[in-house]
Structure 1
């Protein structure tokens, strides 16, 4: 039989352990749902919130990449970020898709640094697709991939919380 004074102190000991960070009971990880891809998207964080920043595919074409002509045609696309309010800028995924919106090739694109907050920022990129002749468009995925925090497994005391969805990859239905 356990003495009554030990039983009386047990809840207090558990509270002290929880408050000291020695317990990972409160650590939870959540992964955001992937947002709907589009030619122009409002960029959202893992909470689904937007600060007004948008990204848009301005145009795209199929032609050889001057730095890798041996690969044949690739997809060259131009994009624009608007209303970006930080110098670090958002990070989104761009995917070349077929007529059924199946991803044929994807990459992460970064809003270029250095322009004044809120000013339009443009750039271009190249997407590789095994069958570039099947590409019918380039779509952006609105989830800001720059928000990457520690997981509960990596840091049970301070980690956890919302995480962006897994980046898009070839074969994903967008």
Structure 2
């Protein structure tokens, strides 16, 4: 049996541990945002599902050999545009080449900070997607979830981790 003095101090000790971040996973929670609906033009959503006033758009796309890898055959070359984005720390979205059923054939994240500023305030850029069967490509879609910031998880850092996270990036075979 514990002495009364030890038992009386136990709640205070637990409070100190919890406030110092030395507790187990008490208070650290991770949440993952739901993947937004993909489209040619999307309103960028943060991890809370809110729309910060930025749009991303696939301006055009075509199949052609990459100039640095012409022997690899056709790849998907697409142009994109961000409106309302900060050129230094703006959002990033996943771009996916899709077939007629909107199944992803290949995806990658595009960053507004890698685009070029235009006189009208838009940020424009181009990128390439390598796909196994280029003839199956029916379009390029963007997923609206901002992928530019993914904080540490509770498993990685119990003290400072946790909070909302973007959805898992889209991959080959995902239905968009």
TM-score by length of 1: 0.93
1:150 to 152, 159, 172: 152
Q: Distance in 2 between matches of 1:65 and 1:114?
A: 20
Q: Counterpart in 2 of 1:16?
A: 16
Q: Unpaired runs of 5+ in structure 1?
A: none
CA displacement 1:77-109 (0-9 Å, x = unmatched): 111000114522211110000010000011111
Q: Report if the CA contact (8 A) 1:89-1:113 is conserved.
A: no
Please identify, of 5-14 and 72-81, the stretch whose mean Cα deviation from structure 2 is larger: 5-14
Give me the CA root mean square deviation: 1.6
1:135 corresponding residue in structure 2: 137
**Aligned equivalents of 1:96 and 1:123: distance in 2?**
16
With over 3 angstroms needed to count, the CA separation of the structure-2 counterparts of 1:51 and 1:71, relative to structure 1, is: same
Kindly state the Cα deviation for residue 5 of structure 1 after the two structures are TM-superposed. Answer: 2.5
Partner residue, 1:70: 71
Length, aligned pairs only? 173
Q: Which residue of 2 aligns with 1:122?
A: 124
Q: CA deviation at 1:13?
A: 1.2
Which residue of structure 2 lines up, in the alignment, with residue 5 of structure 1? 5
Cα distance in 2 between the residues matched to 1:12 and 1:40 = 54
For the pair 1:58 / 2:43, whether they are aligned, the reply is no
